[in-house]
Structures are given as C-alpha cells and as structure tokens.
C-alpha cells in the first residue's frame, strides 16, 4: 500500500497552496487527506481550522483516524511541530535514494517533494500509518 500512498502524494506535487485546499489547490492537510482517500479512508472528517493548528490538536486528530508508529518509512504520515504548531507531510522514497517528503509549502506556494533533512526530522512530533498497512 505504501506505493499507492506515495504515488498519490506525488500526484499532488506542483498543485498551488491554498489554506484548507482540497482540490486543485491544497494545504498540507489536504495532501494527507488525498493520500488517505487513496489508502481507502475516504470518510475522514476534519473540522474547520485556522492557519495555525496546535501540534497537540493535530496529534489528537491523527490518533483518532490513523495508527501511530515509530518507524519513518515511505507512505507514512508525519506531523511536525514548529514552534508548537503543526505541519503535515507524507514520507516518500526520494529519487536521491534517501527518505523524502511531500508537503504543501507556503514558502514555495505549492506542494513540493524534497529530502527529509535532519532539520525536518528534529521537528517530527508523530509518525502515523494509514490502515492496517
């Protein structure tokens, strides 16, 4: 299933960023919801949220719908904590041969894929698997 999840995440790359975007425009949670649907979880309901979601709230949401795991492998969902606020990404097998991530980047104004660097790894607050995996 991780191949299908990674492929669904990569299908989002290049889409423009939009807060609460779920279609052609996406935010970081929109990417996760897209891959969750690809993994057979089409009924995930997410309450309306502001531009800044507390990490604790994001972790509660993920624990309600996903299975928390320890290992960072392709297809897993990451919750990052940045100054107490959450950001989401999907782990990929980056073309460079190391772990990568797909996420909506406000800095780039679109969904991007890049290496999961040590700086990003230090911010990981939770790792989650979709379904039974």
Q: Which of 83, 86, 130 is nearest to 104 (CA)?
A: 86
Q: Which of 7, 47, 10, 19 is nearest to 106 (CA)?
A: 19
Domain that holds residue 71: 2-129
With a cut of 70, say whether residue 29 has pLDDT above it.
yes
Q: Could you count the other beta carbons within 10 Å of the beta carbon of residue 36?
A: 22
Q: How many domains does the chain divide into?
A: 1
CATH number at residue 86: 3.90.1720.10
pLDDT class of 126 with cuts at 50, 70, 90: very high
Which range (9-13, 40-44, 73-77, 118-122) has the least confidence?
A: 40-44
Strand order of the β-sheet with 110-115 is 67-69, 124-129, 77-82, 85-93, 99-105, 110-115
pLDDT of residue 98: 92
In sign, the C-alpha dihedral spanning 61, 65, 66, 68 is positive
Question: What percent of the chain is modeled with pLDDT above 70?
Answer: 92
pLDDT greater than 90 at residue 14: yes
pLDDT in tens, 67-80: 999 999 999 999 99
């Amino acid at each position: 299933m991780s191949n299908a999840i990674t492929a669904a995440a990569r299908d989002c790359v290049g889409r423009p960023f939009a807060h609460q975007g779920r279609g052609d425009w996406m935010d970081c949670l929109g990417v996760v919801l897209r891959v969750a649907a690809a993994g057979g979880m089409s009924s995930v309901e997410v309450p309306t949220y502001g531009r800044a979601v507390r990490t604790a709230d994001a972790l509660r949401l993920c624990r309600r719908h996903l299975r928390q795991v320890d290992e960072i492998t392709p297809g897993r969902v990451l919750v990052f904590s940045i100054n107490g606020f959450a950001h989401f990404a999907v782990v990929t097998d980056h073309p460079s041969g190391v772990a990568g991530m797909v996420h909506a980047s406000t800095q780039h104004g679109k969904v991007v894929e890049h290496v999961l660097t040590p700086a990003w790894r230090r911010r990981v607050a939770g790792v989650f698997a979709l379904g039974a995996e």
